[in-house]
Amino acid sequence: MTKKHPNIVLIMTDNQPNDAVGCYGNNEIYTPNIDALAADGLRFNNAYCPNAMCSPSRASVWSGRMPCQHGVHTWLDDRLMDQWPNDWNAVAEFQTLPEILKDNGYTTAMIGKYHLGKLDKPQNGIDHWITMARGHTLDFYGNEMRVNDETFIHEGHSVDFFTEKAVGYIGDRADAPDQPFLLMLPYNGPYGHWPSIMGPAKNEFWELYENMPMNSVPREGINKKAIEVFQLTTDYLSKKKGGPDFSSLLQMPNDLTTLRNYYSQVSVIDNGVGQVMSALKAGGFGDNTIVIYTADHGFSLGHHGFWGHGQATWPSNAFRIAYNIPMLMWGAGIANEGSSEAYINSTDLYATLLDHLGLWDNIEKKDIPSRSFAELLTNGEAEWTDEVFLEQEETRAIRTPAWSYFKRFSDSKKYPLTNELYNLTSDPDERVNLAGNKEYQKTEKELSNKIITFFETYADPKYDLWRGGKPKSNTSRPWLWKDAWGEDWQPIT
């Protein structure tokens, strides 16, 4: 089967570090289908997300831009949905990946978690629209689903539901083999929060983990910085007279049942990946399809003494576990080189896919930091700078093979924050903070200047929190930004 452009299947999980995949060295987790994808394709060992929260990282993949450019700095709070304008989506002003592909002859589908705005209508050039009626996962069962213009309750596991719909979509595409398709399959698992993973799992893979020792996850005491962010958030919400209880983030670390439940949800996803790959091959798409397996961001399962995202500490952290994601690519035009050590950002997927398809030259690239690693896909080598930039509201960071540097917002009097520098050669687990050490003053200055230059180049003043800009919908640090920019400071929308 030959077409001008290959089909693209982009599978994205919700809250999964590359540590939680077998092919990345985890011998306790059962992921044979994902591992097979890696064995036949290309595995990136140093893939990172730009922000360790779901909505901003998804917006970055769709738009090729950083949070300080698209304005989504944290998860879009479903409780504010009634305040959003009709048909609002957070990246409407940008030329998104599905829109570009649709303009170039693709039919497009989004089956899974969107979490970038209103959910009742297709957004961003999507033709076939299947999603949950909310961004957050409170339970994997009994969710309200939206299938194009129909809404109903699905009693079964949501990941299985999305797999079933994806397999059906692929089967339907076999009736129109001459038109390439983009299938975005953002699963809403393994998720990793209570109540969805509280207690023993109900899924078919629970028995694999029921007595698993879970030695693949370190046991650590609760990080003081995790306690501090809980206190700050609780204090702020108490003044506002309402809000969710975040105390579960202090209870989940070292809870073996929760860990095992989380691992079982990864296996549910792995089963879905196997079904999708089988459907592609059955439909005759195997030789002309690119399959990508990745995650919106990493996730700490107790590593460094915190549970969850980069913002699960105060100040937000940039530790590897919260940002280092799986990135596997397989299929048409992708060399089977085993693995790559190149430092890439999931934001780079935007330029890479368009470049691989021959569409990148037609894109207005001004202010787009997305870099194409298309040459790495075809021959395993490319001119490439091994550094990635990350941002999590009050923390901006750079990561290279040798260093990890967290630069903190410094224009608050009430909340003074300190920088962090880690030597990844001698301290790969980021335990000894060298910031402020005279011996490393030159290195710290060089890395700091790189961060300053990068964000001065790309940040949009409208959304740049460090210059008084505002996020879309909501922020996770209202107390900080109001202290810095005044009590009248409010998010947009």
Percent of the chain residues past pLDDT 90, beyond the cut? 91
- Running DSSP on this structure, what letter comes out for residue 366? T
Distance CA 333, CA 378 (A): 6
Amino acid identity of residue 33, one-letter, is: N
Task: Judge whether 307 and 301 are in contact, CB under 8 Å.
Answer: yes
For residue 126, pLDDT over 70 is answered with yes
Binned at pLDDT 50, 70 and 90, residue 238 comes out as confident
Percent of the chain residues past pLDDT 70, beyond the cut? 98
For residue 381, pLDDT over 90 is answered with no
Binned at pLDDT 50, 70 and 90, residue 246 comes out as confident
Note the pLDDT of residue 2.
Answer: 39
Q: What is the pLDDT of residues 389-418, one digit of tens each?
A: 999 999 999 999 999 999 999 999 999 999
Mean pLDDT over each residue of the chain, to the nearest integer? 95
Note the pLDDT of residue 1.
Answer: 33
Q: Taking CA 323 as the corner, what is the angle to CA 205 and CA 468, rounded to the nearest 5 degrees?
A: 135
Closest CA to 278 of 177, 164, 186, 130: 164
Distance CA 6, CA 286 (A): 10
Distance CA 340, CA 65 (A): 23
Q: What is the pLDDT of residues 316-375, one digit of tens each?
A: 999 999 999 999 999 999 987 799 999 999 999 999 999 999 999 999 888 999 999 999
Distance CA 489, CA 469 (A): 9
Note the pLDDT of residue 336.
Answer: 79
H or E element in which residue 97 lies: helix 97-103
What lies within 8 Å, CB to CB, of 487 at 6+ separation is none
What lies within 8 Å, CB to CB, of 337 at 6+ separation is 42, 380
3-state secondary structure of 275: helix
What lies within 8 Å, CB to CB, of 483 at 6+ separation is 412, 413, 414, 415
Q: What is the pLDDT of residues 335-344, one digit of tens each?
A: 877 999 999 9
The sign of the CA dihedral 419, 424, 426, 427 is positive
For residue 244, pLDDT over 80 is answered with no
3-state secondary structure of 72: coil
Mean pLDDT on 85-94? 95
Task: Judge whether 271 and 25 are in contact, CB under 8 Å.
Answer: no
Instruction: List 289's β-bridge partners, or say none.
Output: 7
Binned at pLDDT 50, 70 and 90, residue 134 comes out as confident
Note the pLDDT of residue 110.
Answer: 98
Q: What is the pLDDT of residues 263-304, one digit of tens each?
A: 999 999 999 999 999 999 999 998 899 999 999 999 999 999
For residue 237, pLDDT over 80 is answered with no
Binned at pLDDT 50, 70 and 90, residue 242 comes out as low
Decide if domain 7-378 falls under CATH 1.10.10.10. no
